[in-house]
């Protein structure tokens, strides 16, 4: 994670960043993805899927606090959901769950949701 000025974040965002439940990688996931954003931040998603249900989600990022909390919020939104329900989430929904996210970090929610969608595509498009 790059060094940054954490004073730009409201305390509830820093609390989420310090208490992530989904940060990490999975061995032998049913689906995985990697996306590097134009800012250079990288994100990975790992999914365990059973009967079209996302049973477990992990993500990993080397990005800033905003990227971290967007990954965590995205993972939280879709764990326990069907693939169709997961495909219906949006970056706006992630941002709305993170009031006070600095405007110039809005794209972090796009990176998180894009990486999730790519993992789902990895699963759905498997031959
Ligand atoms: Fe670029 Fe967060 S700063 S994804």
- CA atoms within 13 A of residue 46's CA, in its CB half-sphere: 12
Q: What is the pLDDT of residue 5?
A: 81
Which residue has the least CA distance to atom 4 on ligand 1?
A: 108
Q: CA-CA distance, 35 to 27, in Å (whole number)?
A: 18
What does the pLDDT average to over 68-83?
Answer: 98
Q: What is the pLDDT of residue 81?
A: 98
Task: Kindly state the helix (H) or strand (E) to which residue 107 belongs, with its residue range.
Answer: helix 107-124
Q: What is the pLDDT of residue 6?
A: 87
What does the pLDDT average to over 33-56?
Answer: 97
Q: Compute, in angstroms, the gap from residue 107 CA to the centroid of ligand 1.
A: 6
Fold annotation for 3-124: Sufe protein. Chain: A (3.90.1010)
- pTM comes to 0.94
Using the Cα atoms of residue 67, residue 107, residue 80 and residue 119 in order, give the sign of their dihedral.
negative
Which residue has the least CA distance to atom 1 on ligand 1?
A: 39
Strands 53-61 and 31-36: unpaired
Q: What is the pLDDT of residue 1?
A: 47
Q: What is the pLDDT of residue 3?
A: 60
Q: What is the pLDDT of residue 78?
A: 98
């Amino acid at each position: 994670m790059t060094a940054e000025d954490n004073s730009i974040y409201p305390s509830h965002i820093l609390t989420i960043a310090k208490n992530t439940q989904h940060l990490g990688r999975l061995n032998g996931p049913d689906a995985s993805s990697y996306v590097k954003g134009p800012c250079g931040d990288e994100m990975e998603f790992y999914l365990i899927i059973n009967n079209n249900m996302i049973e477990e989600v992990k993500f990993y990022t080397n990005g800033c606090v905003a990227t971290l909390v967007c990954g965590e919020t995205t993972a939280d939104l879709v764990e326990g959901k069907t693939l169709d329900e997961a495909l219906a989430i949006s970056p706006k929904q992630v941002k709305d769950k993170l009031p006070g996210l600095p405007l110039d970090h809005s794209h972090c929610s796009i990176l998180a949701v894009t990486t999730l969608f790519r993992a789902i595509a990895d699963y759905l498009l498997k031959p």
